[in-house]
Structure 1
Amino acid sequence: MKSDGLLSIIIVNYNSRELLKNCLHSIQSTVEIQEVEIFVADNDSLDGSVEMVRDNFPEVEIIANDSNIGYSKAINQAIRPSLGKYILILNADTIVMPGAIQTLLSFMENNPDCGVAGPKLSYPDGKLQYSCRTYQTVKTTLFRRTFLGRIFPKSKVLRDHLMLDWDHCSEREVDWLQGSVLMLRRWAIDRTGPMDERYFLYFEDVDLCYRMKIAGWKVCYVPQAEVIHYYRRASYGKSLFNRDLFVHLTSMLRYHDKWSKILYMAKRCMHILKFPSRISLDFVGILFSLRLAFSLRESIGLIESKPLYPIDIYYQPLMVFSICTLSIYYFMGLYENKRHKSWIDRLFSISKGILISCLVMILFHFFSEGYQHGLVYSRIVLVTFTIINILVTLFIHQSIHFLSRLLWRHGFNLRRSLIVGTDPTAIRIGKMLSAGPDLGYDLVGFISLPKNSKKPQHLQIIGDVENLVEICLRERIQEVVFVNVDEHFENIVLPLTKFRKKFINTRIISNDSESKVIDTRIKDFFGFPSLEFERGSYYYLTLGLKRLTDVFMALFSITLLSPLIFFIYVLLKVEGREVFFTQKRVGKNGKEFPMYKFRSMFDDAERVKRHLENIVTEGPIFKVKNDPRVTPVGRILRRYNLDEIPQLINVLKGHMSIIGPRPPLPEEVAAYDRWHEARLEIKPGITGLWQVDKERKWKFDEMVRLDIYYILNWSPLLDIKILIRTPGAILRGTGFNG
């Protein structure tokens, strides 16, 4: 029966014929059936529930499933065709008391910031049922699921979790509400998503309320509305083989896998351990293959007449083989997450790597000292080792892939993802990632782009690109896929630079990405060419190495240039000027610091600045052609960038790095567009990418793009390239003044 659009009621039923009948009768006596639409989603009940509803309640729409698909999936089945502004979810074992539905509706209408509301629940004997609780923690789980709860039934842990120190007679905001009776705001559901179908039963209500809370919606307890609930804890039993207990524990683990902050950080940092662990496994496989091949050769010693050298003789060439093989695996991409790669592809890749390494090992042996003295390895051992190692390595890689897929199919260890963009390509990718967990992705939703009026109504758009970083941290996102964002590069560049520090993987799928600032390999993403920025698992390690290098180079440079520093000091004193000039600059994350220079201008240079002519501005940058404030000695210092030498002190103090974007003035930063702020994501440097260019005829936006290129593609090798080009820039007089 279709309503006028105000309320949709959804009941999930499984073998609860009489309870369902009583529930529907209570709804009939509470509201006018013509004012609401009622759905009953039946999970293949065998007690005649479907026939009972059809015979006694013809106005109710039946969704009859041919199997038990779970509570969450059945709820979503009914949400999709429903039309109500509000959705009331009921368990079949509830009795709605008079006025309860109208009270909840009035509350939702009067509180537009409330996404979920729940009534006061009572047992059939009138005793209060504790239906609102605080979020479950590890400590709470121990008391709820072990003997501790029986020994200490009045412990503070349980009292706080069940909110026992409150009379449950007043309206209040809570963490979550028991899912037996929930009224949902459709607009909130559209923004946060329906029930998570990975929960077969239990914890789907906790998950829904948590998503509502982090999205800014309130979860409210409304005791003026009362519902009787024939509640029993089916998962609570003494037997460890209780099926409901197993389902409950599985759902609990799934919830913590999805929302635990500790697990989220662990997943984001997983590359730190994943790469060395997989290399270690392959190395153990190589050692095992040699040992097995050698044992097989020993077992046929009576047949083979040639002497067999001890296994220790094989270890030297084995190390060469291992280094070569593991390096080839790495460059062939065998340690990457190619989730759709078949075992045949892996077999060919592994075979290719091992055979190439065998050739290298043979060449090594040919030129070794042992070969010159007549040392010849057993060909049976070498051939057997090669075959065994191919099979063992394939087994290791396939086992890892199998275990990963097994976890994904059961809803564990999925990579929570966002898609930035709402065009047809983005929608296609979204449908593919949402098709099932076999791909290992959990698509949270879509992010809209500015000036994009074409936003399909059916998409779950959870925010805009301006708040992308905050949304990613809030929703525990591990990967962001940007789709056709070329026209919006200025909007995505700030999140791109932040994601590397946040250990969030990033992909750009586009026909024409911003090649000026992106220098990474094109990889296949389920049939779409993508530019991938790996999460910076080693970011802080390499940052530490960069800091050590900066300190060493600063100390070395100060020592090497000490005669020149003394000479400049004497010149400035003879000229009658202060030797050093301190200027406020903006560093990493917008933090201001004092930057040091040799003084190259008259003492009142800043005061007369506003009276100058020939001022040139490029964006927020202030420059003066033939600046009259520059002293004769200062002109020489500036031409060869010698006035920047004191910034080595800034490097030692940690304000700056040797290489990085030049530090801007506070007034320049105040005039920045939002995307310009991306250059403040790392420490500023004395020299940088655009400073060592031969021409240096860049406009401000182009200089920022080069700084962003450096940030996105930073590596020790890139620093070395810039450092090599710096002396030439200084001698040409086109160095890094600024």
Structure 2
Amino acid sequence: MTLRVAAVVPNWNGARWLPGCLAALRAQERPFDAIVVVDNGSVDESADGLGADVRVVRLGENRGFAVAANRGIDAAVDCDAVALVNSDVVLAPDWLARTAGALGDGVAAVASKMVALDDPGLLDDTGDFLRRDGVCEQRGRGRRDDGRWDAPGEVFAACAGAALYRRAAVLGVGGFDERLFSYLEDVDLGLRLRLAGWRVRYEPAVARHAGGGSAHQLERPVGGWVARNTLLIVAKAFPARWAGPVLYRQAAWLVAAARGGALRAHLSGLASALALLPAMLRERQALRAGAVVPIEAVVDDRPWRGPRAGGHPRAGF
């Protein structure tokens, strides 16, 4: 059976980036079977006049990346797989052919080699790993591309800025958690997919990423969203015995935020998580009880302190 693949592009005031993104989608050596743009209430007319080959789903307001991704996946009802592509991403012509080829049996998602749009030699993300202190590490981020990330392999999760997902697998675990709004929603999805027994592959197909295409429009800085959503993911999934690493990292982030002049945004992010913590804690038992793979096997015992452990690179600490 031929794999049918839709491209889903969440968009929010992306007039600067969207034309280039769509041009790259149309130029794929292995064509997409559908292109869906999910517009989060843009006011810059970026979702207008995109062409007859693009289906536009209008949400009317900014409901966040997670909602936009889910609505796009819902819209791709006749497709087997969905490529989530940020509006500020330009895919290499062979991107879909390579990632679709890596979506084999038991694989729920394929991470790709994300590099800087204006400097393709600078890595942005080559697949994610989650640590037991709650921090998500982006492999290779900020480093020069020296060939170390050219080999396919397995990773914990894919960055949803440019990743291919098996539609049935995503729907089977409930899709993206819309309560997270933006940032780390792909980490949370990756965790649930892995607990359900799915694997995630890395295929070094290149996706050039401008980065922060709409982040400056959000109500709080990226660091605040990362602080908020890290706490929520930990509350929903982590065992109590990992409290030590989590508390260590939270304290370290507070100190770093204070030193970096970002304490108010950091505390605002943590405070915004409080209302959701009871619901997350209630879901722990069901999530763990339904797991096919134990969380200890999914979240490796990687270093979480010392020279090899830092904060989340997106947060800057």
TM-score by length of 2: 0.71
Summarize the Cα distance change of 1:227–1:235 in structure 2 as closer, same or farther, 3 Å threshold.
Answer: closer
Distance in 1 (CA, whole Å) between partners of 2:176 and 2:21 is: 22
Aligned partner (choices 37, 43, 48) of residue 45 of structure 2:
48
Summarize the Cα distance change of 1:74–1:185 in structure 2 as closer, same or farther, 3 Å threshold.
Answer: same
Task: Name the structure 1 match of 2:100.
Answer: 105
Report matched runs for 1:62-461 at 5 Å: 62-82=56-76, 83-108=78-103, 111-124=104-117, 125-131=119-125, 132-138=127-133, 167-223=148-204, 225-232=205-212, 243-262=221-240, 410-414=275-279
Task: Name the structure 2 match of 1:655.
Answer: none
Q: Can you list the C-alpha shifts for 1:44-84, whole angstroms capped at 9, x where unaligned?
A: 1111112142xxx1221111121100100111112113121
Distance in 2 (CA, whole Å) between partners of 1:250 and 1:19 is: 28
Distance in 2 (CA, whole Å) between partners of 1:469 and 1:442 is: 8
Distance in 1 (CA, whole Å) between partners of 2:179 and 2:106 is: 27
Distance in 2 (CA, whole Å) between partners of 1:475 and 1:101 is: 31
SS in 2 for 1:168: coil
The answer to whether the aligner puts 1:61 opposite 2:55 as a matched pair is yes
Summarize the Cα distance change of 1:410–1:42 in structure 2 as closer, same or farther, 3 Å threshold.
Answer: farther
- Equivalent AA in structure 2 for residue 114 of structure 1: V
Deviation for aligned residue 1:210: 1.1
SS in 2 for 1:201: coil
- Equivalent AA in structure 2 for residue 6 of structure 1: R
Summarize the Cα distance change of 1:232–1:71 in structure 2 as closer, same or farther, 3 Å threshold.
Answer: closer
Q: Is the 8 A contact 1:73 1:195 kept in 2?
A: yes
Q: Is the 8 A contact 1:116 1:185 kept in 2?
A: yes
Q: Is the 8 A contact 1:116 1:218 kept in 2?
A: yes
- Equivalent AA in structure 1 for residue 208 of structure 2: I
Deviation for aligned residue 1:187: 2.7
- Equivalent AA in structure 2 for residue 119 of structure 1: S
SS in 2 for 1:41: strand
Q: Is the 8 A contact 1:136 1:161 kept in 2?
A: no
Task: Name the structure 2 match of 1:13.
Answer: 11
Distance in 2 (CA, whole Å) between partners of 1:69 and 1:263 is: 35
Q: RMSD value over aligned CA atoms? A: 3.6
Summarize the Cα distance change of 1:69–1:409 in structure 2 as closer, same or farther, 3 Å threshold.
Answer: farther
SS in 2 for 1:190: helix
Summarize the Cα distance change of 1:233–1:48 in structure 2 as closer, same or farther, 3 Å threshold.
Answer: closer
Task: Name the structure 1 match of 2:259.
Answer: none
Aligned partner (choices 284, 291, 298) of residue 471 of structure 1:
291
Deviation for aligned residue 1:163: 11
Q: Can you list the C-alpha shifts for 1:566-598, whole angstroms capped at 9, x where unaligned?
A: xxxxxxxxxxxxxxxxxxxxxxxxxxxxxxxxx
Q: Is the 8 A contact 1:133 1:162 kept in 2?
A: no
Report matched runs for 1:478-557 at 5 Å: none
Q: Can you list the C-alpha shifts for 1:530-564, whole angstroms capped at 9, x where unaligned?
A: xxxxxxxxxxxxxxxxxxxxxxxxxxxxxxxxxxx
Q: Is the 8 A contact 1:43 1:69 kept in 2?
A: yes
Q: Can you list the C-alpha shifts for 1:454-512, whole angstroms capped at 9, x where unaligned?
A: xxxxxxxxxxxxxx956399589xxxxxxxxxxxxxxxxxxxxxxxxxxxxxxxxxxxx
Distance in 1 (CA, whole Å) between partners of 2:132 and 2:38 is: 32
SS in 2 for 1:413: helix
Distance in 1 (CA, whole Å) between partners of 2:89 and 2:138 is: 25
Q: Is the 8 A contact 2:8 2:36 kept in 1?
A: yes
Q: Can you list the C-alpha shifts for 1:308-337, whole angstroms capped at 9, x where unaligned?
A: xxxxxxxxxxxxxxxxxxxxxxxxxxxxxx
Q: Is the 8 A contact 1:8 1:36 kept in 2?
A: yes
Distance in 2 (CA, whole Å) between partners of 1:162 and 1:137 is: 20
Higher relative contact order (CA 8 A, sep 6+): 2
Deviation for aligned residue 1:442: 8.5
Distance in 2 (CA, whole Å) between partners of 1:63 and 1:442 is: 33
SS in 2 for 1:177: coil
How many residue pairs get aligned? The number is 261
Distance in 2 (CA, whole Å) between partners of 1:32 and 1:176 is: 24
- Equivalent AA in structure 1 for residue 279 of structure 2: L
SS in 2 for 1:69: coil
SS in 2 for 1:198: helix
Summarize the Cα distance change of 1:140–1:74 in structure 2 as closer, same or farther, 3 Å threshold.
Answer: closer
Q: Is the 8 A contact 1:17 1:52 kept in 2?
A: no
Larger Rg: 1
SS in 2 for 1:255: helix
Deviation for aligned residue 1:177: 2.4
Deviation for aligned residue 1:106: 1.4
Summarize the Cα distance change of 1:68–1:133 in structure 2 as closer, same or farther, 3 Å threshold.
Answer: same
Q: Is the 8 A contact 2:197 2:293 kept in 1?
A: no
SS in 2 for 1:231: coil
SS in 2 for 1:184: strand
